[in-house]
Structure 1
């Protein structure tokens, strides 16, 4: 079996097959480089020769993005469940790095330093072109596609200070995938997709991406006011209501739990959580 882990592939669900993604006949080992070569244009991506692949081999569809920008408080019901009377005036942003990413079907380690590991189902945006100061009307030209993410959060560390980094940037706590679907197939820059989070097959989060407080045109225009975005950069757009930390009693992930993020038109990531054993 060919080693798909070293290639960007066009995954063919339920076939046991994958196809290398080519630009001008060349294979690529990560999506940022492929998108850069294609100029963010999905029509320039062609197929190589198919080969057998076990879907369990799939890694995060973006391995080494330059930037991962995350959005908090972006569904109104989530704002309210957190005890906030009104949404923020501007997008509530924080960052992760590529160390946080995990594959769509990977076992995810629960760190022993905390018992407050939470789930956050999210639509993730993959940027296709280098861009700065993008007008809202032009955002459709810089978005390549969408995938599913679980913004794993270590709640006690998150609230050690007023900054979120210590709770959000943990190694391997942000599964991503299973595929990146071009934006044109999912509603362009304003997708209306059902998003569901399931804990051990029981729905715990549910909403539609059209209910985002800050939609993609406004988000990306705002972010690119102060930052250049590049091919393969990721934006996690925020989580619906239902996170474990605000439930009574709180509902945190434990050894053996499975959490699934299912997004209409994209598919699902499903990860099993295992207690990490320190050597």
Structure 2
């Protein structure tokens, strides 16, 4: 294994990747550790994702080696990849940047007339991420656990101070996320981190699909959030107030983005905290986020086990 978190392999057969029909990059538990693989939503098998003969443990190193180009990725050996073996498709992103108030209907349901003048940003860390089909532990400190269905951008190359017209060269692809929020902790102060960056409360996945397969940097994709079979959120990603290019321009003015960094673009209307009566996630709740062309992540929420 080298310092980039990759290891060499000698595949007996590789092939070009056909990115159609929702094929994307997943992380799978295989041979005692994680590997990046090519998988379609719902499939029980996948193929190792290779760049110049290397197998990768995590997406940032793979994207760095591929220079953010899907055409540089090849398909290797077939491996088992059932839902329960999937991990968050990005394990240790350098940055997880989230955007608040980015759908107008969500702005309105929160009691505001207009959205923010600039992107409303807050951070998470890699410890916040969870697998797309994992059981997710409910924090015992709160009974106000809310759901937020979101499109997540996966950065492909290093970028700083980009222009709108350069956005397509920066984005590798998209995946789905549930920005689970601990509402009472979120409202402790004017800052959101305590309610947003909770360990293990941000399911991600199931796969990262190249942006070129999903409408480029201005995707128009159906996004839904379903609680125990009932659709509570339903919109399209074209409704974003700040689109992907505008977010990239603003964020890269402030900081350098690197391969594997994540941007969670905000949630549509329908969150539980503003409903009457309020709807929160509880023991046994199952919440699914589905995005057209990517597939669905689906998590059951359970009591946190005490060590």
Tell me what 1:223 maps to. 251
- Of 125, 148, 153 in structure 2, the residue corresponding to residue 97 of structure 1 is 125
- 1:245 and 1:5, CA in 2 relative to 1: closer, same or farther beyond 3 A? farther
Structure 1: 4+ residue segments shifted above 2 A: 1-5, 12-15
Tell me what 1:177 maps to. 205
C-alpha displacement of 1:51? 1.9
Paired residue secondary structure (1:35): helix
Kept in 1: contact 2:41–2:295 (CA 8 A): no
- Of 122, 137, 142 in structure 1, the residue corresponding to residue 165 of structure 2 is 137
Kept in 2: contact 1:155–1:245 (CA 8 A): yes
Tell me what 2:77 maps to. 49
Instruction: Return the TM-score normalized by structure 1.
Output: 0.98
Kept in 1: contact 2:40–2:207 (CA 8 A): no
C-alpha displacement of 1:12? 3.5
Kept in 2: contact 1:4–1:53 (CA 8 A): no
Kept in 2: contact 1:4–1:58 (CA 8 A): no
Tell me what 1:255 maps to. 283
Tell me what 1:203 maps to. 231
C-alpha displacement of 1:277? 3.4
Paired residue secondary structure (2:172): strand
For 1:183 and 1:5, locate their aligned partners in 2 and report how far apart those are by CA, in whole Å: 28
Kept in 2: contact 1:5–1:58 (CA 8 A): no
For 1:51 and 1:101, locate their aligned partners in 2 and report how far apart those are by CA, in whole Å: 24
- 1:11 and 1:77, CA in 2 relative to 1: closer, same or farther beyond 3 A? same
Kept in 2: contact 1:125–1:143 (CA 8 A): yes
Unaligned runs of 5+ in 2: 1-28
Paired residue secondary structure (2:263): strand
RMSD: 1.1
- 1:15 and 1:197, CA in 2 relative to 1: closer, same or farther beyond 3 A? closer
Tell me what 2:104 maps to. 76
For 1:56 and 1:174, locate their aligned partners in 2 and report how far apart those are by CA, in whole Å: 17
